[in-house]
Amino acid sequence: MGQRVLLLEPVGGIAGDMFLAAALDLGVELAALEAPLRTLGVTGWHFEVTRAERHAIVGTHVEVVVDAAQPHPHRAWADIDALISRSGLPERAKARALKVFRLIGEVEAKIHGVTLDAIHFHEVGAVDSIVDICGAAVALELLGDPVVLSTPPPLGSGTTRIAHGVVPLPVPATLELLRDLPVKFEGVGELTTPTGAALLKAFATVGPFGEVVVEKVGYGVGTKDWKDRANVLRASLGRRTDATVDALRVLECNLDDCSPQVLGHVVERLLARGALDAWVVPVVMKKGRPGHVLSVLSTDATRAALVTTLLEETTTLGVRETTVERTALERRWDVVTTPWGEVRVKVGLRDGKALNATPEFEDCRAIAERELIPLKQVQAAAISAWRPLT
């Protein structure tokens, strides 16, 4: 058995509602998707799910219908952060949703020449976009936390009107979000939206799929009917046949004049921008000076963005790069019941045999804080509950 993967083919582009529609077409239950989203505290909306056809392809169409009387506040980054952080979304879904909003916020801040804290989300801060982005993060949980791969998205052409006036297509935020990733400049109209671009940037590796065994196929149908292509996002759920060995890159730099506080900040930024892992090791450098080696594990798709982060955020004058191979176990999530509630357990398998099992730290910490009991007690109970399942 290989690594579980979700393959995205944005034939007609990608938007937040198309991603949700494709997930539902793959078998995600609407009630399971909607329940966590209701904990966001955003009211006055509901899902409208229908079957639709584009160029003889039938799939699922989803619209987040917002009450006409619902106010549309312009939310700042702090508002979005608080909204998601205090919600009942699964912890990993919270992190994914916040990553998407941060990516959009950072791009908007760059375009407008201001800081992230000064950005007010307009279209992306509206109710339907919040539901789309948080819904996409929840959908990945419900699909079993697969590795997401995508073909290059088509961007479209022309002009459109946004809160700031008439702008070219793709809109500046979309193009900036997809910088350093393969894209296609083709099609007419807005094929890939900022939300769709941010989902790809945050969740997916854009490039070749390799060998995959496809198990399920779903189609998320967009609202518009393009003349030159089917406005669908095809999503295939399956398993890699060659997933045990991944070709990755290690990016490194030596630092002897960088504050430890800055290093902690940089590690967070690297992980938010797609690093598979990042770590800092203390070393002794020339002339006996103490220093640090900052290392980053990267895919080809995220390499350029991570190199830029290292050069911009640290005091280094250069970045070393090494190609490595990683043998990875297949991953699966099991849910166990402890005396204090449910805990997810990440299981590592090879040829169907479980070799490792680790309780999800955030689940255990939340229980420990709520019940005022030692964290290690929750972790032990979760492993004890998991063993009879194997």
The strand pairing partners of 309, in sequence order, are none
User: What angle do the packed helices 91-112 and 194-203 form, to 10 degrees?
Assistant: 120
Sequence-ordered alpha helix ranges (H) in 2-44: 16-25, 30-37
Residues 6+ apart with CB under 8 A from 23: 33, 136, 139, 142, 143, 218, 220, 235
CATH class of 330-389: alpha beta
Query: pTM of this prediction?
Result: 0.67
| Pairing of the two strands 320-327 and 277-284 | unpaired
How does pLDDT run along the chain (390 residues), one tens digit per residue? 557 899 999 999 999 999 999 999 999 999 999 999 999 999 999 999 999 999 999 999 999 999 887 666 778 888 999 999 999 999 989 999 999 999 999 998 888 888 888 777 755 548 888 999 999 999 999 999 998 999 999 999 999 887 778 889 999 999 999 988 889 999 999 999 999 999 999 999 887 777 788 999 999 999 999 999 999 999 999 987 654 566 789 999 999 998 888 999 999 999 988 899 999 999 999 888 999 999 999 988 788 889 999 999 999 999 999 988 787 788 888 999 999 999 999 998 887 788 899 999 999 999 999 999 999 999 999 999 998 665
The strand pairing partners of 380, in sequence order, are none
Q: By C-alpha distance, which of 273, 147, 155 is closest to 210? A: 147
The burial class, CB within 10 Å (0-12 / 13-18 / 19+), for 24 is: buried
H or E, element range at 328:
none
| Cα gap 127→114, rounded to integer Å | 24
CA 217 → CA 31, 55, 206, 234, 347, distances in Å?
21, 17, 19, 7, 25
Q: By C-alpha distance, which of 328, 292, 321, 291 is closest to 304? A: 321
- Are domains 245-327 and 330-389 of this chain identical in fold? no
List the domain boundaries for the chain: 4-240, 245-327, 330-389
H or E, element range at 144:
none
CATH class of 245-327: alpha beta
